[in-house]
A and B are shown apart, each in its own frame.
Chain A
Amino acid sequence: MSLLCLPAAVIMSSVLQKLISPLASSPAEPPRNKVTVVGVGQVGMACAISILLRDLCDELALVDVMEDRLKGEMMDLQHGSLFLKTSKIVADKDYAVTANSRLVVVTAGVRQQEGESRLNLVQRNVNVFKAIVPQIVKYSPNCTIIVVSNPVDVLTYVTWKLSGLPKHRVIGSGTNLDSARFRYMMAERLGIHASSFNGWVLGEHGDTSVPVWSGANVAGVNLQKLNPDIGTDGDKEQWKATHKAVVDSAYEVIKLKGYTNWAIGLSVADLTESIVKNMSRVHPVSTMVKDMYGIGEEVFLSLPCVLNSSGVSSVVNMTLTDGEVGQLKKSADTLWGIQKDLKDI
């Protein structure tokens, strides 16, 4: 997108022609790893900058309804293109700019207000999605969609329904961030790097997420074996408080700075990397869990999923306690309670 509004003929005639002799006369190749970010709010832009600085795409497209903001954000990123390895950064209100995307990250929608629970956002965001999702699919029928907007599990279901895409191509960012926060906080208590603490938070992203204490380990040493009370109310060391801090952390950051963006942006870039580079890494993300763990409805909850260029190629069968399965079922019921009342999907 040249910002110079001179006729191309004037530019072409002199320096360019003298300087450069074209070899390949065929039209430009389409992008191979195009990523689109829908919504250029704080979350969308944090996803964009994280994806760009990790060199994950050869083209980045931004879409939003706020045209001035959109153009400003695009220009600001383009001005940094010297420092990046993504040669094409484009933006438009019209979804034609998103054509041929491998991955579409949906961050559009209204954000949680201070004290507002994620579930309260629902109907507001469903209406936004009815405008967005069909447009995405129209221009990138083979893409994988990552839904970030909250309440993410419900909106991933909504996206799946509105898109008509197979379920392995619609992913919710889910508890990828909750797990990252959990691993960071647990690791801090132990004095190690977050990546050396292995722990999974599954289920619903938010207030009723499930920390799988039975799997928590460092170097394969199971923490529950060292401390059988871990995660219970009776635990003297109150490890359960760490999970509570994870649940509260989004609200806390919102209270302090008005929104969260950096952590979610980094977590989305992490998912993007697994998909674009066909890595088959396991991530806790929101996927369609009907017929697993006795769940009978079409709901999306986070489970350990293998992510690669197919999207969610498989799901790891986590061994959960009866209590943990019960929590998942309860979340599924709550989510279905909301989903069944949603209009026009």
Chain B
Amino acid sequence: MLCRPDRLISETSRFSLRGLRRLQPSLKMSTKEKLIGHVMKEEPVGSRNKVTVVGVGMVGMASAISVLLKDLCDELALVDVMEDKLKGEVMDLQHGSLFLKTHKIVADKDYSVTANSKVVVVTAGARQQEGESRLNLVQRNVNIFKFIIPNIVKYSPNCILMVVSNPVDILTYVAWKLSGFPRHRVIGSGTNLDSARFRHLMGEKLHLHPSSCHGWIIGEHGDSSVPVWSGVNVAGVSLQGLNPQMGSEGDSENWKAVHKMVVDGAYEVIKLKGYTSWAIGMSVADLVESIIKNLHKVHPVSTLVQGMHGVKDEVFLSIPCVLGNSGLTDVIHMTLKPDEEKQLVKSAETLWGVQKELTL
């Protein structure tokens, strides 16, 4: 009797444990039993908004802390192969539970801990070295994904997969192929961060908050991303309308340099501190928020663009997409200039050139 969990004992309707102990005073109730009585007869409901982060490196943990501080999930699971680091990170987060609104924070090497996730954020993989381009990482990270993706799918067959690891556009394609998921449930973090960096720099130039500076960077996340100058605006006022040279070589204000700073931004931070974490972590939480809260917000994220903007190959590139709790349900048809579309097609060809050599 003493080793049965209280829950089962409460279900015996005839007599309660308290009653029994009144009859047999030698049986001592634990402090917990004296304090708390369990009254629910059914199984607990379990988590409704579970988020998993795969990879507890700097990007994974920055994503985790951003998701936690935005109160986005009722359960957070962490997975990694490095067991000590994983255990240390989960303990450190748990110790902050008093200050958070996520009651269950768990971690394991075994993917069963990720079961029933709504969103799975994949940050695992090797990171860019100083000066290394994202495309160089490919095959290293494909092999890692061949282990990770099937495990995620096994335990959360209905989840939305968000790929962050670089080169993100290729790895989102890889995740899509390996998972067998429909395309609306596989999203790459893409140029969400590039656009955020662009809007920050635009805000600095105009002395405005970035959220009031609108600008979209699409296409490949990285060196050949495409700034859509025609869309850059404040309060609907097109900046290119005020400065028709914007983004071209002849522009006396050199807005093109702003885009170059976005492209170089990651490399610069890596050179200075060894990696980037905070900005990508916050941008991941921004995307997770739209999904979990079913916001139907438009974000530039990496999705299958075959058949759009002249792209013929099965590749993933960033365009403005509507995100909600079903995943990536709609895309926005941007009106692009011919040379902007040409850049997208060129990126697609480059990516396809790499993708077709991969063994999946």
Residues of A within 8 A of B (CB): 1-4, 6, 10-11, 13-16, 18-20, 45-46, 49-50, 53-54, 68-69, 71-73, 75-84, 87, 177, 180-181, 183-184, 187, 189-195, 218, 221, 223, 226-227, 230, 236-237, 239, 249, 252-258, 260-263, 265-267, 269-270
Residues of chain B from 256 to 287 with CB closer than 8 A to chain A in the complex: 257-258, 261, 265, 268-274, 276-279, 281-283, 285-286
Given pairs A184-B94, A184-B98, A267-B96, 5 additional interface contacts (CB within 8 A):
A11-B205, A68-B272, A180-B99, A253-B95, A260-B92
Which chain B residues lie closer than 8 Å to A69 at the CB level? 272-273
Q: Evaluate contact between B92 and A253: CB separation under 8 angstroms.
A: yes
Q: A2-B204, A10-B252 are in contact. Are A194 and B272 (CB under 8 A)?
A: no
* Residue in A14, A76, A261 whose beta carbon sits within 8 Å of that of B269 in the complex: A76
Which chain B residues lie closer than 8 Å to A53 at the CB level? 65-66, 69-70, 282
21 A-B pairs with CB atoms under 8 Å apart are A3-B204, A16-B206, A18-B243, A19-B206, A49-B65, A49-B281, A53-B65, A68-B271, A72-B268, A79-B276, A80-B282, A81-B203, A180-B95, A184-B94, A184-B98, A191-B32, A191-B36, A194-B98, A223-B31, A237-B30, A249-B95
* Residue in B65, B70, B274 whose beta carbon sits within 8 Å of that of A262 in the complex: B65
Question: B210 an interface residue at 8 Å Cβ cutoff?
Answer: yes
Which chain B residues lie closer than 8 Å to A256 at the CB level? 84-85, 87-88, 91
Q: A49-B65, A190-B32 are in contact. Are A83 and B95 (CB under 8 A)?
A: no
Docked pose: A252 CA to B90 CA in angstroms: 12
Q: Evaluate contact between A257 and B96: CB separation under 8 angstroms.
A: no
Question: B336 an interface residue at 8 Å Cβ cutoff?
Answer: no
Docked pose: A193 CA to B196 CA in angstroms: 35
Q: Evaluate contact between A184 and B261: CB separation under 8 angstroms.
A: no
* Residue in A77, A190, A262 whose beta carbon sits within 8 Å of that of B35 in the complex: A190
Q: Evaluate contact between B88 and A253: CB separation under 8 angstroms.
A: yes
Q: Evaluate contact between B95 and A80: CB separation under 8 angstroms.
A: no
Q: Evaluate contact between B31 and A227: CB separation under 8 angstroms.
A: yes
Docked pose: A253 CA to B193 CA in angstroms: 31
**Binary contact track B50-78/A, C-beta < 8 Å → 1, others 0:** 00000000000110011001100000000
Question: B103 an interface residue at 8 Å Cβ cutoff?
Answer: yes
Q: Evaluate contact between A249 and B91: CB separation under 8 angstroms.
A: yes
Would you give the shortest CB distance from B287 to chain A, in whole angstroms? 10
Docked pose: A221 CA to B5 CA in angstroms: 22
Count residues of chain B with CB under 8 A from any CB of chain A.
71
Residues of B within 8 A of A (CB): 28, 30-32, 34-36, 61-62, 65-66, 69-70, 84-85, 87-89, 91-100, 103, 193, 196-197, 199-201, 203-206, 209-211, 234, 237, 239, 242-243, 246, 252-254, 257-258, 261, 265, 268-274, 276-279, 281-283, 285-286
Would you give the shortest CB distance from B117 to chain A, in whole angstroms? 21
Nearest residue (CB) in A for B273 is A72
Q: Evaluate contact between A14 and B273: CB separation under 8 angstroms.
A: no
Which chain A residues lie closer than 8 Å to B278 at the CB level? 45, 49, 73, 76-77, 79-80
Q: A77-B278, A177-B95 are in contact. Are A226 and B35 (CB under 8 A)?
A: yes
Which chain A residues lie closer than 8 Å to B270 at the CB level? 72
- Most chain B CB atoms below 10 A, which of A1, A2, A221, A262: A262
Per CB-CB distance, the 8 closest pairs between chain A and chain B, nearest first, are A72-B272, A257-B88, A256-B88, A72-B273, A79-B279, A263-B95, A266-B96, A53-B69
Q: A19-B242, A53-B70, A75-B269 are in contact. Are A11 and B200 (CB under 8 A)?
A: no
Q: A10-B253, A49-B278, A79-B197 are in contact. Are A263 and B93 (CB under 8 A)?
A: yes
Which chain A residues lie closer than 8 Å to B242 at the CB level? 14-15, 18-19
Q: Evaluate contact between B35 and A4: CB separation under 8 angstroms.
A: no
Q: Evaluate contact between A76 and B276: CB separation under 8 angstroms.
A: yes
Q: Evaluate contact between B96 and A263: CB separation under 8 angstroms.
A: yes
Q: Evaluate contact between A14 and B69: CB separation under 8 angstroms.
A: no
Docked pose: A192 CA to B87 CA in angstroms: 22
Would you give the shortest CB distance from B7 to chain A, in whole angstroms? 10
Q: Evaluate contact between A269 and B99: CB separation under 8 angstroms.
A: yes
Q: A194-B98, A223-B31, A237-B31 are in contact. Are A262 and B279 (CB under 8 A)?
A: no
Which chain A residues lie closer than 8 Å to B28 at the CB level? 236
Which chain A residues lie closer than 8 Å to B196 at the CB level? 79-80, 82-83
Q: Evaluate contact between A257 and B92: CB separation under 8 angstroms.
A: yes
Docked pose: A266 CA to B102 CA in angstroms: 13
Docked pose: A84 CA to B193 CA in angstroms: 14
Which chain A residues lie closer than 8 Å to B91 at the CB level? 249, 252-253, 256
Would you give the shortest CB distance from A190 to chain B, in whole angstroms? 6
Which chain B residues lie closer than 8 Å to A87 at the CB level? 209
Which chain B residues lie closer than 8 Å to A78 at the CB level? 200
Which chain B residues lie closer than 8 Å to A3 at the CB level? 201, 204, 261
Q: Evaluate contact between B282 and A15: CB separation under 8 angstroms.
A: no
Which chain A residues lie closer than 8 Å to B204 at the CB level? 1-4
